[in-house]
């Protein structure tokens, strides 16, 4: 039996802060490991007004994009297609995720193909990345872009290497459901669907105490390392995101980078 989680007003809301200073952000959220939605922080970005569905459809019409298909509870690396951005966006505009279950997820290739896009945004002052002190091969590629139809979902997950993350919303709205690290044991390795949990299979999920928020164009969300989260698009959406290393996630992020980027390469090297 599934239990529908629709009453968002019954779930405590993530703090929303406008005009927050760097000192306030560190004291109230970074050092305490607490998520926050920051408003007004990306108004100076050209991307704030420039990055629309129509802008990408026309200016980058022939750009080839890898789109991910959700065929079950998880996206599979093998279940992808390549299409042009104009074709994809036309389908995003005229379909919901139910009829067109495809999503541009975590794509960084577009920023290599079209480097001019990098000048349309800048990393907000709150999010200095300690990966900058490591060799380039140990870092992940950022920024990354998400583009998808209404209803597109990123299933419940923990971010790579326990990193912190921030995401800026440019088009449409997204609903976030977030779970603090001390509730990890109730999430069944993130196999639950928080918006529609199967409580017969996952009875301990009843013990969770999530936070929730809806972000829209111009909003910026900070997700501390170790917070599991599910994200659902309420409209056709465009978002840009980074994961990064900083206070509160140094050890797991460094260990993850060393394990995957150094030891993983050594294991794959021909003997």
pLDDT average, residue stretch 25-34: 98
Residue 125 clears pLDDT 90, i.e. is over it: yes
Which percentage of the chain shows pLDDT scores above 90? 88
pLDDT average, residue stretch 119-145: 95
Long-range CB contacts (< 8 A, 24+ apart) of 78-81? none
State residue 107's pLDDT score: 97
State residue 271's pLDDT score: 55
The DSSP secondary structure of 172-225, one letter per residue, reads: S-EEEEEE-GGGGGGSTTTTS-TTS-BTTT-GGGGG---EEEEE-TTEEEEE-T
Residue 225 clears pLDDT 80, i.e. is over it: yes
Cα–Cα separations (whole angstroms), residue 236 to 66, 197, 214, 217: 18, 24, 14, 12
Write out the two tokens for 7: 């009453």
pLDDT average, residue stretch 201-230: 98
Q: How confident is the model at residue 263 (pLDDT cuts 50, 70, 90)?
A: confident
Residue 2 clears pLDDT 50, i.e. is over it: no
Q: Which of 77-86, 87-96, 133-142, 163-172 has the lowest mean pLDDT?
A: 133-142
State residue 260's pLDDT score: 87
- Looking at per-residue pLDDT, the higher value among 138 and 88 belongs to 88
Q: Which domains does the chain have, with CATH numbers?
A: 8-268 (2.60.120.650)
State residue 1's pLDDT score: 41
């Amino acid at each position: 039996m599934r239990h529908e989680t629709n009453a968002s007003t019954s779930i405590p809301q993530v703090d929303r802060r406008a005009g927050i200073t760097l000192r306030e952000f560190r004291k109230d959220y970074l050092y305490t490991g607490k998520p926050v939605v920051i408003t007004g922080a990306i108004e100076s970005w050209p991307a704030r007004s420039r990055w629309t569905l129509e802008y990408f459809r026309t200016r980058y019409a022939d750009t080839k994009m890898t789109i991910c298909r959700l065929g079950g509870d998880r996206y599979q690396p093998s279940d992808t297609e390549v299409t042009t951005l104009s074709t994809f966006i036309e389908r995003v505009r005229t379909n919901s995720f139910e009829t067109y279950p495809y999503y541009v997820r975590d794509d960084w290739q577009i920023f290599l193909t079209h480097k001019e896009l990098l000048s349309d945004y800048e990393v907000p002052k709150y999010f200095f990345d300690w990966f900058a002190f490591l060799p380039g091969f140990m870092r992940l590629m950022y920024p990354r872009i998400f583009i998808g139809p209404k209803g597109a979902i990123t299933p419940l997950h923990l971010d790579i290497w326990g990193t912190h993350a921030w995401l800026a919303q440019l088009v449409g709205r997204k609903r976030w459901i977030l779970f603090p690290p001390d509730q990890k044991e109730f999430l069944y390795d993130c196999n639950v669907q928080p918006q529609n949990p199967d409580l017969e299979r996952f009875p301990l999920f009843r013990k969770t105490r999530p936070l929730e928020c809806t972000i829209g164009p111009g909003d910026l969300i900070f997700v501390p390392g170790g917070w599991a989260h599910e994200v659902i698009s309420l409209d056709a959406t465009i978002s840009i995101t980074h994961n990064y290393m900083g206070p509160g996630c140094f050890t797991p992020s460094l260990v993850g980078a060393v394990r995957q980027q150094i030891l993983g390469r050594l294991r794959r090297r021909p003997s």
